[in-house]
Structure 1
């Protein structure tokens, strides 16, 4: 697949609101299961957990899209699909952080992205337990409820808060490169890590291994918050099963620490 382009038209406020409303409705549905013992957990072929809540939330999103946007394609973690190269596709992760969800960790998210041939058009991170929803539309800004969000201005890795979902996905040399430059390494990961970067509470989020539905909302969210998102090789691409989000200033340094070797090249 070729890298998405950043020159598409803006997302209208009504479209951003529709994506946000669908994501928050699905997120609210997951609360029916959160904290319960009878979650109906099963295991997928890839060794990850899936629950009744995952399936129900994705089904709700698909039903709403079918009602409101019947001509759009859908690609979801639980029911599959594909990304339409010549039209719009909704990309859905009903519960990002299922492993934490089944253990009662309140930082899981419902992720919904709408992409077009130019790349992500709208991205939403809904945090159901926290009652917070981050939404961004191309050319429309990044918003946490009624407050416009922006990334931090921290200038270097020393003292920067750097998150990941799982440090077991790092090569030892990558971890040491970040640690030796003074980064504060934490695991407030999954979508919550990207949320922290976009709202200026962290400087970087790194996922060396993940999936398309984990990352699809992030390019537009980070761009509209004034930050940067690429894969670990510095390409402006969310479909390569890895991602790096930063406040922008630190992006070359983070890519260098991860061994990208591109300096300031972000794949443009």
Structure 2
């Protein structure tokens, strides 16, 4: 385990413990950001803890988080943080929220850590070293038939009227089981082989960065609605290798036809 991964795991666990101190608290303070999305005092304190931990250990590294201004990198290394992914779940006392930390080096994602403190599940992956949950290896499923697949999603925009004909959105009709287990939790269901596809139509870089290394090292693939593996694209899809390959091919055909 590299010093980078050790730090990410250490900070994810510390931030997770901090958030549990606020979880389920009736007096939790909730504020609205400029985009009308909610943020809590727990989000801010969690990000402050992680930022302080990174800058004290690696003062030249950049830090890019959801709640505060970006600290520019002086060496090509940038930590990407979502202090509480699934803030709405957190506010409502639903334990499916995660603390997310990723490291990007010279524009390429190097590692991802996602801690679900209320569930006791800690996922991590470093490129080339496999994916793990609580120290045990995880891998995506081998299911290739859509009719046998479990598909999970986050946004209500998934239920459009009239329905979207995009290959990803079409899964809500064709999949064997469709459920709304959203945010980073849904993507980790794919990483651990408990679901085949996870869909988020609206994502920011801090929502994506920690997910991609874990899914990739678990044997799956991540891509946006245009079939690109980037952290600032149009949404994010995690999938096992078989179904992901078919979806990317279908997206390509759609783009070429359009």
Match of 2:56 in 1: 67
Q: TM-score, with normalisation over the residues of structure 2?
A: 0.91
The structure 1 residue matched to 2:117, chosen from 125, 128, 134, is: 128
Match of 1:27 in 2: 16
Match of 1:16 in 2: 5
Alignment of 1:1-268 (within 5 A): 12-81=1-70, 84=73, 87-169=76-158, 171=160, 172-173=163-164, 174=166, 177-255=170-248, 260-262=251-253
Shift of 1:261: 3.1
Work out whether residues 150 and 199 of structure 1, in 8 Å CA contact, stay in contact via their aligned partners in 2.
yes
Q: TM-score, with normalisation over the residues of structure 1?
A: 0.87
**Cα distance in 2 for residues equivalent to 1:177 and 1:246:** 15
Shift of 1:27: 1.2
Match of 1:5 in 2: none
Flag the 1:85–1:177 CA change in 2: closer, same or farther, 3 A.
farther
Flag the 1:218–1:262 CA change in 2: closer, same or farther, 3 A.
farther
Work out whether residues 61 and 75 of structure 2, in 8 Å CA contact, stay in contact via their aligned partners in 1.
no
**Cα distance in 1 for residues equivalent to 2:112 and 2:85:** 14
Question: In proportion to residue count, which structure has more helix?
Answer: 2
Work out whether residues 93 and 111 of structure 1, in 8 Å CA contact, stay in contact via their aligned partners in 2.
yes
Flag the 1:176–1:196 CA change in 2: closer, same or farther, 3 A.
closer
Shift of 1:83: 6.7
**Cα distance in 2 for residues equivalent to 1:30 and 1:227:** 30
* Cα RMSD for the two superposed structures: 2.1
Flag the 1:70–1:85 CA change in 2: closer, same or farther, 3 A.
closer
Shift of 1:169: 4.4
Work out whether residues 234 and 262 of structure 1, in 8 Å CA contact, stay in contact via their aligned partners in 2.
no
Does 198-207 or 158-167 show the bigger shift?
158-167
Shift of 1:67: 1.2
Unaligned runs of 5+ in 1: 1-11, 264-268
